[in-house]
């Protein structure tokens, strides 16, 4: 008898989403990963297989603001940071990949902060 854990369920959902979500050069994929104490965002062009920009709550720039990645405030700061980096590179439109996590809490905070900073989903 196989026991499905929360981690297994999240991976299954993430793989199901990846079948439908793909990033291009004009509209790359904004991928979010969250751990218990940190949150990470990565913008990927799936056609060329390259990472365009990334941000993490572990970066000195965000840590200097006394922001923790394990809370909503840290997620808001991360969303704003990744949006600023993309806009500086001339990218305004992205596809949001929540990575199997519910659109709630820190994941939602990243998306909302990125939208407020000027990104279009």
pTM of this structure: 0.85
pLDDT in tens, 54-88: 999 999 888 777 678 789 999 999 999 999 999 99
Angle at 71 (CA atoms; ends 8, 7), nearest 5 degrees: 5
**CA dihedral of residues 51, 55, 56, 62 (deg, nearest 10):** 160
**Domain boundaries 20-116, corresponding CATH code:** 3.30.420.100
13 token code pair: 């959902």
Hey, what are 3's tokens?
A: 């026991």
SS3 32: strand
Which pairing describes strands 95-97 and 50-56: parallel, antiparallel, or unpaired?
unpaired
Whether residue 1 is predicted with pLDDT greater than 60 in this model: the reply is: no
Mean pLDDT comparison of 3-12, 41-50, 61-70, highest-scoring range:
41-50
Name the average pLDDT for the chain. Answer: 91
At 3, the pLDDT band (50, 70, 90 cuts) reads confident
d(CA 22, CA 71): 28
Residue 95's DSSP bridge partners are 29
């Amino acid at each position: 008898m196989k026991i499905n854990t929360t981690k297994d369920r999240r991976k299954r959902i993430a793989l199901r989403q990846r079948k439908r979500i793909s990033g291009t050069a004009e509209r790359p994929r904004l991928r979010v990963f969250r751990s218990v104490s940190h949150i990470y965002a990565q913008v990927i062009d799936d056609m060329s297989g390259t990472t365009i920009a990334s941000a993490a709550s572990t970066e000195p720039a965000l840590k200097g603001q006394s922001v923790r990645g394990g809370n909503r405030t840290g997620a808001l700061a991360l969303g704003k940071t990744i949006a600023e980096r993309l806009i500086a590179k001339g990218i305004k439109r992205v596809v949001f990949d929540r990575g199997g996590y519910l659109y709630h809490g820190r994941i939602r905070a990243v998306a909302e902060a990125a939208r407020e900073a000027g990104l279009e989903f």
